[in-house]
Amino acid sequence: MPSLLNTVRNSPRVDQLLSRCNFSAPPTHIDCAVSGGADSVALLVLACAAGLQVTAWHVDHGLRDNSHTEAALVRDLAAQLGAHFESRTVVVDSAANVEAHAREARYAVLPSAVLTGHTADDQAETILINLLRGSGTRGLAGMQPTMQRPLLQLRRSETQSLCDELGITYFHDPSNNDDRFQRNRIRREVLPLLESLSKRDIVPVLNRQADLLRDDDDLLNELAAALDPTDALALAQAPIALSRRAIRAWLSNPLVPDSATVDRVLDVARGNTLACDIGLGRHVRRSQQRLRITEPENPK
């Protein structure tokens, strides 16, 4: 057994953190996305300590000089922990919205059920980002606490201190200091301001609020699922919160509709108009109190 893995498995600190993680039972095989930062390195360490069969996946986006050295760091750490290692290189369009393009490129080459190192701090930032976007309860409920995000109850400071305590080198992404990115400004400016105003650690507050909203959102979705979105009369008579959810679920393939589109469909159900546009050349029409989606005609 590699010596580092022995140290990890005998660490009281690791045991304490594992008690708050959401890993599947060993000896399950899992894939972990490991960038080389403290959060993803802690994910790899804790997954190996939990007795899981781990493959560490590193994606080189090629956005920085010598970015290949980050892959080497992850490869060497995986070997010390007895984990497998896979590396992929992607090409990212850096002309605009680099974060989104990098994320899309990354997830295109990672396994579908890959685990990520998102922490409670990431959750708090996500909630505030969704608030600024005008999201409803789904967005304000944050990231779902699934087994693909086993570290959501840990703090970023804890992943860093774990690496430091074990003497594990991790990489600090310089883009995290770039104020052009909204998440960075929320992390460096908004959260500290909220903590100053509230005189408390705001991250647990935001996470607890997300948990409450998630429960509400799940209940409303369950009630909305019993509503037939093609029944115009039922939609018109149901509570608007349920009607909107039923319509949104109905129209969500291939794209989740925005609130304006949902309200247009609700107007059709209420008889205020006979049809409306729902994007991609499609329309919703009402006939004999039934709603149906009409697809664009194929060009001859």
pLDDT in tens, 136-158: 899 999 999 999 999 999 999 99
CA 250/CA 245 separation, integer angstroms: 9
pLDDT band at 66 (very low <50, low <70, confident <90, very high): confident
CA 57/CA 227 separation, integer angstroms: 42
Predicted confidence at residue 97, as pLDDT, reads: 75
> What are the residue ranges spanned by the domains of the chain?
3-119+154-177, 226-294
CA 149/CA 84 separation, integer angstroms: 20
How do beta strands 275-279 and 282-287 pair? antiparallel
The residues near 66 (Cβ < 8 Å, ≥ 6 apart) are none
Taking 60 as the threshold, does the pLDDT of residue 73 lie above it?
Answer: yes
Taking 80 as the threshold, does the pLDDT of residue 298 lie above it?
Answer: no
Over residues 85-111, the mean pLDDT reads 85
Over residues 183-190, the mean pLDDT reads 96
The sign one gets for the Cα dihedral 177, 155, 172, 97 is: negative
3-state DSSP call for residue 61? coil
Quote the mean pLDDT of the chain.
93
Q: Please give the residue that has the higher pLDDT: either 104 or 226.
A: 226
Tell me the CA end-to-end span of the chain in Å, nearest whole number: 67
% of the chain beyond a pLDDT of 90: 81
Predicted confidence at residue 1, as pLDDT, reads: 53
The residues near 225 (Cβ < 8 Å, ≥ 6 apart) are 246, 249
Longest dimension (CA), the chain: 73
pLDDT band at 3 (very low <50, low <70, confident <90, very high): confident
Strand order in the sheet with 53-60: 29-33, 53-60, 84-89
Q: What is the DSSP letter of 188?
A: I
Beta bridge partners of 31: 55
Superfamily of domain 3-119+154-177: HUPs (3.40.50.620)
Query: Tens digits of per-residue pLDDT, 12-53?
Result: 999 999 999 999 999 899 999 999 999 999 999 999 999 999
Segments of the chain assigned E as strands: 29-33, 53-60, 84-89, 275-279, 282-287, 290-294
Min mean pLDDT across 94-108, 174-188, 264-278 is at: 94-108
Q: Please give the residue that has the higher pLDDT: either 178 or 155.
A: 155
The reported pTM is 0.89
